[in-house]
Structure 1
Amino acid sequence: MTGRHVLVTGATGYVGGRLAPRLVEAGHTVRVLARDPGRLRDAAWADAVEIVRGDLEAPADVQRVMEGIDVVYHLVHAMGAGGDFAKAELVQARHVAAAAKAAGVQRIVYLSGLHPEGEHLSKHLASRVAVGDVLLASGVPTIVLEAGIVIGSGSASFEMIRHLTDVLPYMPAPRWVRNFVQPIAVRDVLHYLVEAASVPGDVHGTFDIGGPDVLRYGQVMNGYAVEAGLPQRPIAPLPVLTPWLASQWVNLVTPVPRAIAIPLIGSLLHDCVVEERRIDAVIPPPEGGLTGYRRAVRLALARERSGDIESSWRSASAAGAPSDPLPTDPRWSGTTVFEDARERTTSASPAAVWAVVESIGGARGWYSVPLLWSLRGLADRLVGGVGLRRGRRDPDRLREGDTVDWWRVERIDRGRLLRLRAEMKVPGRAWIEFEVTPEGDGAHYRQRAIFLPSGLTGRLYWWSLVPAHHVIFEAMASRLVGVAEASERSSRG
């Protein structure tokens, strides 16, 4: 059955960002709910869907967005969010369940996690089970798909496996490294999700999904090593490495921050394998069969190397990071504002300067004192922040919502303005803004670092960094403009 009216929540996330365009390709009319529609503005599929601003914690928003919908995909998870994420997930699920029932929705689809029955679950897995139970009790036919480790370019699980294996020639590991897991390729997860829209209305319940390979977690890491052309790593289980300590280790040596590493590690404390294959009678496997683990790794690596990453775990905001935009005029409202502004006039064209601005961060760095940036990134990781390892989705092009190391793109007016909002741990709120305008035969470059301090601690933080800021931001402005000028000279031959 095609031509359904479909709602996707969580379309700015890893799975939702891939599902929405595939539902369009399958012939469905797709609506997505987003708290910040600007984050979807540059998505390749944005013009093919209806984007509605709304918040799942506001019942009126949820009721409004359900009007005329046949199938709801609930893909919002709060892994890595601060506060009581389990309570927030339950509230959102109850709003979705009630609104779907009232609107006459014919099907709810939810992606949960594989877990053993009858065992004490991590808070993360227990929350997913509880959300599934709320949706199953909604009175609307519901399919809950339970998946284990999802392997694909940009997935948090894959990033953790990849960086742990790349960085460490020898892997000290907790005892549960010998637990069994059943990875599934993201392409197969999407197959089941897309096909769920067309399942007959009498199908209702929970279904396990997983790839064809059941592996110990140590085999998962060494399977990656083989595909990446690395020697297999010796692994020694250590009984003293608790989940909390393991998550700190993951936080330090991978881009995955502690707030996400903790639930990921928690989900590995048990054997997480497919215990029933009832899904085969409801949704047959993809044509050609399910993707094996090694092939899934191979495909993910190819995407990573080409830079063609469709969506990423980085889309999720960092735990506790401010999400409010830069106030229009904070001084007018009495807010204390600290600012470091630098300007340059250059012979380089606005296009040449903008090209350097839009490619800042990630592998190209910040054009000033790399050691100081590295030390600040390390300090942020040590206190549970995101540090510098998140990098960026695309080396040349940015869109709203993208991460750039410890920053997130808050606003981009391509060719003119880029504003990044800090997601590092600071006693206040911080932004850095780049503006490029034409001037004569060249361009005018303006750079602002803006900080709204929180209390005395925030003020002391800024004042203590004034000397370092002078060095860092002065060098950044000069070096960035110099790179633009050199690039233009080179292109002219």
Structure 2
Amino acid sequence: MQPSEDTQSKTVLVTGATGYIGGRLVPRLLEAGHRVKVLVRSPQKIADVPWHDQVEIVQDSLSDAGSLEGSLKDVDVLYYLVHSMASGRGFEAKEESMARLVAEAASAAGVQRIVYLGGLHPDNTELSTHMRSRETVGRVFLESAVDSIVFQAGVVIGSGSASFEMIRHLADTLPVMPAPSWVKNRIEAIAVRDVLHYLVAAAALPGTINRSFDIGSRDVLKYRDMMNEYAVERGLPRRLVIALPVPAPKLAGLWVALVTPIPLSMSFPLVQSLQHDAVSREHDVDHVIPQPDGGLTPYRRAVALALGKERDGQVETTWANAGVDADPLPSDPDWAGYKVYVDERTFHSDARPDYVWTIIEGIGGKNGWYSLPLAWRVRGWLDKLTGGAGLLRGRRHPKKLGSGEVVDWWRVEAIDRGRLLRLRAEMRAPGRAWLELAVEPDGDGSLYKQRAIFFPRGLGGRLYWLGVYPFHGIIFPSMARNISAAAIALQESASQESAARQPSVNEAGSGVAKDTP
């Protein structure tokens, strides 16, 4: 898409570019003709995104007042798309403090506009901790010296969205669903494509604008009706959702964490945000930003678009990839002085290295882990029960991986395509864990290498390793064998398809007509 001639090009800085919205916004800002900078703490997390070479990458932290002003130099528009889903004492104060620091640095650097995406909420209502925090951050920007546009959106529907994943898994899993009273609340969802439309348009708006805008589809449904509309679009029978006369946000958050890919730390704030109606109170944005071509996307259409993306495997970004940064695996020589457990396996395969790599890069998600599926599922449920990620997060794309992406309870820490994949565990365990899968040529076949690494934390970590070690003796050898077998099967299938496409000698002919004696 080419930028229109009347689009005023801006220099924009996007925070939260590794997140669900930010990762989709960046390429659209580029398409609109803007010069884009992205601020990240770990540049490696966006090393594999398609737009990597089209943006200026700034390594910085939003909590570092000393360097932030320099990062904002010559920036016209700042997109503030970060919001922690953590909780605990001091959470709200920390979020507010960081917003104030950013606003002050933006003012000092001469930034013309701040654009923030907050949550849709009713007035004069006691909000949950997270909704209250988002409202506070928006107010900080509106009261700052920099003109600010604060969009307030409700449930965002799109492939990979946490809100969509919650609806999808609940409706897919539960034909009959006893539910808290908030399933009767009225919700105005919005398609992710419409959110992006408003965000992109905000960069080039002329003049001075300093206010909030409610944005939504204008299609208002009760939450239980949203699940049923999803079920119908999915081709499932309508779900029986029984609203119980209790709000039960904590119990509901726990249930959502168990049934969906969303971890407990995120399911609680998501459920809490549904405790009240979330409907636009005004439509003033229509006087400032025209609606998208074809109008706003109704809820059912947004679901159809999300499902279509999931079917073809082209999920652009996913909520799960916006994980916390963590220290990378130290190099082997740096292990000296640390207690570390290592389980190493090698396996010669008759398959070529490229076929073994295809299996390695496609591991996890619906493809599984090539050994004792029940054992993996049990460990995933235990992780869920203790507030971890579990195995339901899956992966963004069924065949391709990039740095920083999620694979079930793992995250891609390093990928040397065709040679090595290193995954860092995000499951709950008393220590830090990694899994490395590698392949290299070996004669006419390949040598598959597998290494599990665990840095225990205290006595509990050592006991944990000893407790799971017997299972490793079963899981890891079969994993190596099965990956090799899958690669051989893939290679044989490719050879058969190639042979089928080759014309036979008779079909190829020698240029002699069939009726020639």
TM-score by length of structure 1 reads: 0.97
1:419 counterpart residue number:
422
Deviates more, 1:62-71 or 1:410-419: 62-71
Distance apart, 1:130 and its partner CA: 1.0
Tell me by how many angstroms 1:332 deviates: 4.3
**Aligned to 1:111, which of 88, 102, 117?**
117
Q: Give the aligned partner of residue 432 of structure 1.
A: 435
2:273 aligned with 1:267? yes
- Structure 2 counterpart of 1:323: 326
* Aligned pairs for 1:15-164 within 5 A: 15-80=21-86, 84-164=90-170
8 Å Cα contact 1:107/1:201 also seen in 2? no
CA distance in 1, matches of 2:246, 2:426: 32
What is the match of residue 287 of structure 1? 293
Counterpart pick for 2:362 among 349, 359, 362: 359
Matches within 5 A, 1:337-376: 337-376=340-379
Deviation at 1:82, TM superposition (A): 7.4
Q: Offset of 1:80 from its aligned partner? A: 4.7
Tell me, yes or no, if the aligned pair for 1:106 and 1:201 is still in contact at 8 Å: no
Secondary structure of the structure 1 residue equivalent to 2:332: coil
Residue 504 of structure 2 corresponds to none
What secondary structure is seen at the aligned counterpart in 2 of 1:15? helix
- Does residue 397 of structure 1 match 2:397? no
Partner of 2:508: none
Alignment-mate amino acid for residue 52 of structure 2 = A
Answer with 251-260 or 409-418: which moved more: 251-260
Q: CA–CA distance in 1 between the matches of 2:39 and 2:445? A: 42
Stretches of structure 1 lacking an aligned partner (at least 5 in a row): none
Q: Is the Cα–Cα contact under 8 Å of residues 70 and 109 in structure 2 kept in the other structure?
A: no
In the TM superposition, what whole-angstrom CA distance separates every residue of 1:291-341 from its partner, at most 9, and x where no partner exists?
1111111111111111111111011226xxx71110123764411100100
Give the conservation status (yes or no) of the 8 Å contact 2:388–2:427. Answer: yes
Offset at residue 81 of structure 1 (A): 6.8
Deviations 1:103-154 (A, max 9, x none): 1111100000011111111111011011111111220100000000001111
Higher mean C-alpha deviation, range 282-291 or range 167-176: 282-291
Aligned to 1:236: 242
In the alignment, which residue of structure 1 is the partner of 2:183? Answer: 177
3-state DSSP class of the match of 1:280? helix
**Match for 1:473: what amino acid?**
F
Q: TM-score, normalised by structure 2?
A: 0.92
Query: Percent identity between the aligned chains?
Result: 56
Distance 2:287 2:85 in 1: 31
> Do 1:155 and 1:312's aligned partners in 2 also have CA atoms closer than 8 Å?
yes
Partners of 2:12 and 2:464 lie apart in 1 by: 48
For 1:451-478, what per-residue CA distance to the aligned partner results, in whole angstroms no more than 9, with x for missing partners? Answer: 0000000000001111101101111111
**Mapped contact 2:182–2:247 kept (Cα < 8 A):** no
The list of structure 1 runs, each at least 4 consecutive aligned residues, that deviate by more than 6 angstroms after superposition, is none
Alpha-carbon separation, structure 2, partners of 1:355 and 1:81: 39
CA RMSD of the aligned region, Å? 1.5
What is the correspondence of 1:304-319 to structure 2 with a 5 Å cutoff?
A: 304-317=310-323
Aligned partners of 2:295 and 2:336: how far apart in 1?
61
SS of residue paired to 1:433: strand
Q: Could you tell me how far apart the structure 1 residues matched to 2:183 and 2:468 are?
A: 43
After the TM superposition, which residues 250-265 of structure 1 pair with which residues of structure 2 at under 5 Å, given as runs?
250-265=256-271
- State which drifts further: 76-85 or 443-452: 76-85
| Residue 16 (structure 2) pairs with residue 10 (structure 1) | yes
Match of 1:480 in 2: 483
Among residues 182, 195, 199, which one is paired with 1:193 in the alignment? 199
Structure 2 segments unaligned to the other structure (5+ residues): 1-6, 497-517
Amino acid at match of 2:226: V
Secondary structure of residue in 1 paired with 2:61: coil
In 2, the alpha carbon distance for the partners of 1:372 and 1:232 equals 33
| Larger-gyration structure (1/2) | 2
- Which letter does structure 2 place at the counterpart of 1:11? A
- 1:57 and 1:173 map into 2 onto residues whose CA distance is 40
* Kept in 2: contact 1:331–1:337 (CA 8 A): no
Change (3 A) 1:332 1:229: closer
* Matched positions, count: 490
Contact 1:427 1:457 in 2 (8 A): yes
Distance 1:362 1:213 in 2: 33
Deviation track 1:172-207 (CA, whole Å, cap 9, x = no partner) reads 111111111110111111111011111223111111
Q: 8 Å contact 2:370–2:478 — kept in the other structure?
A: yes
How far off its partner does 1:492 sit?
A: 2.4
Give the equivalent residue in structure 2 for 1:468: 471
